[in-house]
Amino acid sequence: MNPKTILIAGAAGAAAALLFAGLVLQSASALSLALAAPIPIAIASLGWGSLAGFIAAAVATLIVGVLAGTPLSAATILLSMALPTAIAGHLAGLARPRETLETAPTFPRPIAEPLPRAPQPAAPALDWYPLERVLFALTLCAAFACLILGWLIGYDPAEIGTAVGEALTQGDAGLSAATNAQIAEVSALVVRLIPFVQPAVLVLTLVVGLYLGAFVTRLSGRLPRPRDDIPAAAALPRVSLGLFALAILGSFLPGAAGLAASVFAGAFICAFALVGLATMHRRTRGRAGRGLILFTAYAAILLLSFPLVLFAMLGVYETGRGRPAAVGGPPSNDQ
């Protein structure tokens, strides 16, 4: 690796650390910037190689640890964003030569025939690492990150419930017994949803960060991977169906086992919802009113949230069908 690549990787890591600093320093005005932290690492990994991505992840972890002064802050960016993005960038950059008829072995010509002039070797066609496996890896990384970070901070549902109840009752001292009971129910619901929501948000953040990183790298002309037809290639391997089913069943267990299963269930719900949204984009291609359909679907998700569950069910259905993914194929002009 040349010094220029190391310098670029270090700059990418510093940019990711500065974007993430608002979260660890609890700056309300900069919290939204933390969601963009994976983008510089993705750019370094996709444009300058896997090693550059891992160096950027290490630099970001070191800078955040120094700025915050606590190992937990460094572990937060490393586990939640830096390392998963570097891994995804490495996987997205993997390729192997495609086996074609031209590469198959042939018998030698008879000695009497004149040998033709040797043609100039052409660049071999490549099969790129499937997007479905990249999404699967990001989903597992997000789930394990939430589990490890929850263990490091000592996640306690009882304490979280108390804090949520205090936040709901803040500024209102004259609560009746009925209202207190309702607040307790709302607090319990919020605590129950946290293990599902946090990994889902992290999966979405990682996927969007990787997509935007690839977009910027492609504009600069440094992305070797051809543009994927995402609506056709977005999928999950079938093993994810079994893992998702086990996670849903395990989420009904009490204690730490139920919390761990809920984390995996939440991560896979988001991943399947993304597959469902890609399916909607693919199936509406060329149809009248496609823009209205897409606008209505995304507006319903932003306003109501629960349509994500419907798209997750569609993603589960598509995964069960075993639809072959178009890996690395040319995209349609109508995404």
User: What does the pLDDT average to over 286-292?
Assistant: 88
Q: Which two tokens stand for residue 252?
A: 């009904």
| pLDDT at position 121 | 56
Q: Is the confidence at residue 145, as pLDDT, over 90?
A: yes
CA torsion through residues 39, 42, 47, 48, sign: positive
46-58 tens-digit pLDDT: 999 999 999 999 9
User: What does the pLDDT average to over 184-201?
Assistant: 85
| pLDDT at position 67 | 86
* Region class of 171: left (phi > 0), else alpha (psi between -120 and 50), else beta: left
At 122, the pLDDT band (50, 70, 90 cuts) reads: low
| pLDDT at position 171 | 53
* Region class of 226: left (phi > 0), else alpha (psi between -120 and 50), else beta: beta
| pLDDT at position 287 | 86
Does some domain include residue 232?
A: no
Q: Which two tokens stand for residue 123?
A: 């660049």
Among the residue ranges 70-74, 189-193, 200-204, 277-281, the one predicted with the least confidence is 189-193
Does some domain include residue 296?
A: no
Query: What integer best gives the mean pLDDT of the chain?
Result: 83
Residue, of 325 and 45, whose pLDDT is higher:
45
Can you give the residue range of the structural domain that contains 70?
A: 1-93
Q: Is the confidence at residue 112, as pLDDT, over 50?
A: no
Can you give the pTM of this predicted structure?
Answer: 0.85
Q: Is the confidence at residue 104, as pLDDT, over 70?
A: no
Considering only CA atoms, which of 74, 61, 79, 78 is closest in space to residue 144?
79
Does some domain include residue 307?
A: no
List residues bridging with 95 in a β-sheet.
128
| Domain count within the chain | 1
At 153, the pLDDT band (50, 70, 90 cuts) reads: confident
240-266 tens-digit pLDDT: 999 999 999 999 998 889 999 999 999
293-331 tens-digit pLDDT: 999 999 998 888 888 999 999 999 999 887 544 444 445
| pLDDT at position 75 | 92
